[in-house]
Amino acid sequence: MKEQVASEAQEVSRRLKAAGHEAFVVGGCVRDILLGRDAKDWDVATSARPEVVQGLFRRCIPTGIAHGTVTVLVGKTPIEVTTFRGEAEYSDARRPDRVNFGVTLEEDLARRDFTVNALAYDPIDDRLVDPFGGREDLAARRLRAVGDPAIRFREDGLRVMRAVRFVATLEMSLDRSTEAAIPGALDSLRKVSAERVRDELVKLLSAPRPSLGLRVAQRTGILAVILPELAEGVGVVQNRFHASDVWEHTMATVDNTPGDAIRRLGALLHDVGKPRTAAPKVDSPSEQTFFRHEAVGAEMTDAIMRRLKFSNRERERVTAMVAHHMFWYSPEWTDATVRRFVRRVGVDLIPDLFALREGDVRGRGRGEDPEVELCELRARVHAVLDEDQALSIQDLALDGEDIMAALGIPPGRRVGEILRALLERVLEDPSLNERDRLLSLAAEIHAERGQQSGT
- Measured from the CB atom, the residue of 41 and 335 that comes closer to Mg ion is 41
Residue 156 interaction partner, one of Mg ion, ligand ATP, none, beta carbon < 5-8 Å per kind:
ligand ATP
Residue 229 interaction partner, one of ligand ATP, Mg ion, none, beta carbon < 5-8 Å per kind:
none
Q: Give 367's Cβ-side CA count (13 Å radius).
A: 0
Residue 85 interaction partner, one of ligand ATP, Mg ion, none, beta carbon < 5-8 Å per kind:
none
Provide, rounded to whole angstroms, the least separation between the CB of residue 59 and ligand ATP: 21
| Alpha-carbon gap, residue 384 to 349, rounded angstroms | 15
Helices 335-345 and 371-386 meet at what angle, rounded to 10?
90
User: What are the b/e assignments for 361-383, b being 16+ CB within 10 Å?
Assistant: bbbbeeeeebeebbeebeebbee
- Comparing CA positions, the residue from 446, 452, 333, 336 lying closest to residue 389 is 336
- Measured from the CB atom, the residue of 78 and 400 that comes closer to Mg ion is 78
- Measured from the CB atom, the residue of 112 and 293 that comes closer to ligand ATP is 112
Provide, rounded to whole angstroms, the least separation between the CB of residue 28 and Mg ion: 3
Our measurement of the distance from residue 387's CA atom to the centroid of its chain's CA atoms, rounded to an integer in Å, reads 34
Kind and range of the H or E run holding 419: helix 413-428
Provide, rounded to whole angstroms, the least separation between the CB of residue 37 and ligand ATP: 9
Residue 87 interaction partner, one of Mg ion, ligand ATP, none, beta carbon < 5-8 Å per kind:
none
Provide, rounded to whole angstroms, the least separation between the CB of residue 78 and Mg ion: 12
- Measured from the CB atom, the residue of 41 and 314 that comes closer to ligand ATP is 41
| Alpha-carbon gap, residue 130 to 24, rounded angstroms | 12
Q: Which residue is nearest to Mg ion (CB)?
A: 28
Strands (E), 9-132: 23-26, 42-46, 60-64, 69-74, 77-83, 86-87, 99-100, 120-122, 127-129
Provide, rounded to whole angstroms, the least separation between the CB of residue 80 and ligand ATP: 8
Q: Which of 5, 17, 21, 28 binds Mg ion (CB under 5 A)?
A: 28
Q: Which residue is nearest to ligand ATP (CB)?
A: 28
Provide, rounded to whole angstroms, the least separation between the CB of residue 281 and ligand ATP: 46
User: Residue type at 121?
Assistant: Y
Residue 41 binds Mg ion (CB under 5 A): yes
Q: How many residues bind Mg ion (CB under 5 A)?
A: 2
Provide, rounded to whole angstroms, the least separation between the CB of residue 269 and Mg ion: 28
Provide, rounded to whole angstroms, the least separation between the CB of residue 116 and ligand ATP: 8
User: Residue type at 253?
Assistant: T
- Measured from the CB atom, the residue of 138 and 403 that comes closer to ligand ATP is 138
- Measured from the CB atom, the residue of 188 and 250 that comes closer to ligand ATP is 188
Helices 261-269 and 246-256 meet at what angle, rounded to 10?
160
- Measured from the CB atom, the residue of 67 and 449 that comes closer to ligand ATP is 67
Residue 157 interaction partner, one of ligand ATP, Mg ion, none, beta carbon < 5-8 Å per kind:
none
Three-state SS at 290 = strand
- Measured from the CB atom, the residue of 8 and 156 that comes closer to ligand ATP is 156
- Measured from the CB atom, the residue of 41 and 335 that comes closer to ligand ATP is 41
- In Å, how far are 29, 211, 237, 349 from 35, measured between CA atoms? 10, 21, 39, 36
Phi and psi at 45, nearest 5°, equal: -110, 140
Residue 107 binds Mg ion (CB under 5 A): no
Contact between residue 360 and residue 404 where contact means Cβ atoms under 8 Å apart? no
Provide, rounded to whole angstroms, the least separation between the CB of residue 162 and Mg ion: 11
Residue 199 binds Mg ion (CB under 5 A): no
| Alpha-carbon gap, residue 311 to 309, rounded angstroms | 6
Provide, rounded to whole angstroms, the least separation between the CB of residue 352 and ligand ATP: 25
Residue 270 interaction partner, one of Mg ion, ligand ATP, none, beta carbon < 5-8 Å per kind:
none
Provide, rounded to whole angstroms, the least separation between the CB of residue 158 and ligand ATP: 5
| Alpha-carbon gap, residue 155 to 191, rounded angstroms | 11
Dmax (CA) of the chain:
92
Q: Please report, as ranges, the residues that interact with ligand ATP according to CB under 6 A.
A: 27-28, 40-41, 43, 112-113, 117, 156, 158-159, 162
Q: How many CB atoms lie within 10 A of CB 150?
A: 16
Residue 32 binds Mg ion (CB under 5 A): no
Residue 158 interaction partner, one of ligand ATP, Mg ion, none, beta carbon < 5-8 Å per kind:
ligand ATP
Contact between residue 290 and residue 296 where contact means Cβ atoms under 8 Å apart? no
Residue 294 interaction partner, one of Mg ion, ligand ATP, none, beta carbon < 5-8 Å per kind:
none
Radius of gyration (C-alpha) of the chain in whole angstroms: 29
Q: Give 86's Cβ-side CA count (13 Å radius).
A: 8
Point out which span in 38-46, 59-67, 183-191, 264-272 binds Mg ion (CB under 5 A). 38-46
Q: Note the residues at the interface with Mg ion (CB under 5 A).
A: 28, 41
